[in-house]
Chain A
Amino acid sequence: MTVVPINWYLILGAVLFTIGVIGVLVRRNVIVIFMSIELMLNAVNLVFVALSRQLHVMDGQVVVFFVMTVAAAEAAVGLAIIISTFRNRETVNADELNLLRW
């Protein structure tokens, strides 16, 4: 059984990251933009774990642990912001949330 080289994992991570980036740039619903950011974070997690396996150290997995924690905190606060914005502006469309635009 041949082994999967590390490059394939890194390229898969890059593809997922790119899909996330395109999602942030193209979608207008703020919550879907948020989900694309989570997709990017997961791509990075995959790369970390793959490299951890490549280099035979546990540091990559510990970093993934922290990334997950920070993602949870960020999701909680971000969604709270979206809820309070929705209460004031009645929309979650990024094009219409433009009060600060000059």
Chain B
Amino acid sequence: MSPVLFGILAALLIASALGVVLSASPIRSALSLVLTLFFIAVQFLFLDAQLVAALQVVVYAGAIMVLFLFVIMLLNLQEEPQAIARLGQRAAAVFLGSLFLLAAVHFLAKPGIGAGTGMAGAVPATFGSTELLAETLFTRFLFAFEITSVLLLVAVIGAVVLAKKTLT
């Protein structure tokens, strides 16, 4: 992928991420997050991860964010008059954030991360396909897979119990 295309996609990603954090209305934040998820799915496609990109749209943008929108609609949250915190808290948060970002960029800009031919090297045609992902998932990560299914069951039961109206 050419650097220009990456630059455009990165700018769009950062713009929609800022939209999530800076929007006054929660629904607009949620929609900005959906847009961000979409752009990240596009990034996945450029990184030869087709199945994960499709799952990102189906699971994240198609189910989790719908849940968020449902809750916002259910609680009838309108635009907030003072969505962002007081000036002191805002300044401290931005300061800490920039400190973290500077440290991260300092370490991440070093050349030589990762072994082998890296991004320039070609991957086999089946890289990122369902078959290869399933092979890795069900052989080396089998235990994590089984535990995750138990986790999902626990989450479903927990959500139903928590959101139920109890008869007092």
Contacts and interface: CB of A to CB of B under 8 A. Distances in A.
A14 B85 CA distance: 23
Interface in B113-168: 113-121, 123, 127-128, 132-133, 135-137, 140-141, 144, 148, 151-152, 154-156, 158-160, 162-163, 165
A66 B158 contact: no
A98 interface: no
B29, B47, B148, B165, most chain A CB atoms within 10 A: B47
Main SS at interface, chain B: helix
Interface size of B as a range:
35 or more
A81 B60 CA distance: 20
A31 B78 CA distance: 12
B119 A4 contact: yes
B82 to A, nearest CB: 8
A6 B118 contact: yes
Contacts of B127: 56, 58
Given A42-B36, A83-B75, A31 B151 contact: no
Nearest to B158: A77
Nearest to A28: B85
A22 interface: yes
A36 B30 CA distance: 10
A73 B113 CA distance: 33
Contacts of A2: 2-3
A50 B47 contact: yes
Contacts of B114: 6, 51, 54-55
